[in-house]
Homo-oligomer: A and B are copies of this chain.
């Protein structure tokens, strides 16, 4: 369409490019090395060794004490579903505490479970204007029948990092298990399961340059959790299903790379984020920043643009500039559904429809940010010129 010569990919919180090194590491397992990790013959042992190396790489990224604490899954959604469902299904304690800005993989799981008539219910904690959970709210929400607290490490729409260590301590004081969805943080900021003090942690490979359909659940040694996927007893009987060897190898390699990149990437992405924000704010009137300035993921910026609608903006940015970003509303049958996260931090629905999320990666360049700022001011002017609610 139109004159798109380039792609400026700023939707890395949605999914990322597979790193070249990752793809290369996977290729043998899409070729000659096709053995099954549970079999005895030579092809099988190559697969098994590759899976164990990957397990070490992931354990290394998370500072896990033992690599056996890492269980491979098909992604962040599965890891979240597993942690939540198995914590309450058929258990005596059936109350869950989450935050109101969790990803759908947590939120919908709780809602769907509650609807199934299994006598499961949950409390969704409010957040402040920056999207942060107040530890005192958690303390008040805990009940004698609370089985699990699940609060995300960082939010996927605005980037707010939650005080996990403090929250986990409060849960543990009451003997309640703590899970965190670290899908947005693993590989991006330090994630140390011991420092965080969590019992379970979800991650997803495709958020840090591994392929889609890969993920893991960290399960602290000694933590009891039923299987979610039953069958041949793979992953020490906790996650059955033939192990996705190429995927797992890619996940391991990506974890290794992310660990190497992390320290230099964090300040670089933080700087690019501030550059993007100041650039936009200087060029375009009535833009609001939804991502906190402090305690937020480097490389993520969520803004709302008054008098403009998200989808239209992102489509013009794509068509005319090859810029790939996300907007904060999704079209459901009947009307636009504004992001539950933006509503939770107090953004009014009418403004929330005009929100955009930029999310960067290792591959994002300063030149791309410059282009994006320029493109934004052009396209937003156009969209606003069409708008009946804008008379700038």
Interface residues in chain A, defined as those with a beta carbon under 8 Å from any beta carbon in chain B? 1, 4, 7, 9, 11, 14-18, 23, 26, 30-31, 34-36, 39-44, 74-78, 80-81, 89-90, 103-106, 108-109, 111-113, 116-118, 204, 206, 211-214, 226-233, 240-247, 311, 314-315, 317-318, 322-326
Which B residues are in CB contact (< 8 Å) with A228?
81
Using known A-B contacts A232-B105, A242-B204, determine if residue A42 contacts B90 with beta carbons closer than 8 Å.
no
CB<8 Å pairs between A and B, sample of 29: A4-B42, A11-B36, A11-B41, A18-B34, A23-B30, A30-B211, A41-B315, A41-B323, A41-B325, A42-B322, A75-B241, A76-B242, A77-B229, A77-B232, A81-B230, A104-B233, A105-B230, A105-B241, A106-B231, A108-B232, A109-B230, A113-B230, A204-B242, A206-B242, A212-B242, A212-B243, A212-B245, A213-B246, A247-B247
The reply to whether A78 and B211 contact each other, CB–CB distance below 8 Å, is: no
A117 contact set on B, CB distance < 8 A = 90
Q: Is the CB of B18 within 8 A of A31?
A: yes
CB-CB under 8 A from A89, the residues of chain B are 89, 116, 118
CB distance from A307 to the nearest CB of B (A): 20
Which residues of chain B are near A325, meaning CB under 8 Å?
41
Cα distance A113–B103 in the bound complex, in angstroms: 27
Q: How far is the CA of A226 from the CA of B118 in the complex (A)?
A: 14
Q: Given that A75-B242, A233-B104 are known contacts, is A17 also in contact with B40, CB under 8 Å in the complex? A: no
Question: Does A324 contact B43, Cβ atoms closer than 8 Å?
Answer: yes
| Complex contact B15–A230 (CB within 8 A) | no
Expressed in whole angstroms, the minimum distance between the Cβ of A25 and any Cβ of chain B is: 11
Chain B residues, Cβ within 8 Å of A34 = 15-18
Bound Cα distance A104, B240 (Å)? 9
Tell whether, in the assembled complex, residue A231 and residue B77 are in contact, meaning their CB atoms are under 8 Å apart. yes
A76 CB to nearest B CB, Å: 7
Please name all residues of chain B whose beta carbon is closer than 8 Å to the beta carbon of A78 when the two chains form the complex: 74, 229, 241
Complexed CA–CA distance, A103 and B108 (Å): 30
Nearest 5 CB-CB pairs, A to B? A213-B244, A90-B116, A77-B241, A74-B74, A105-B231
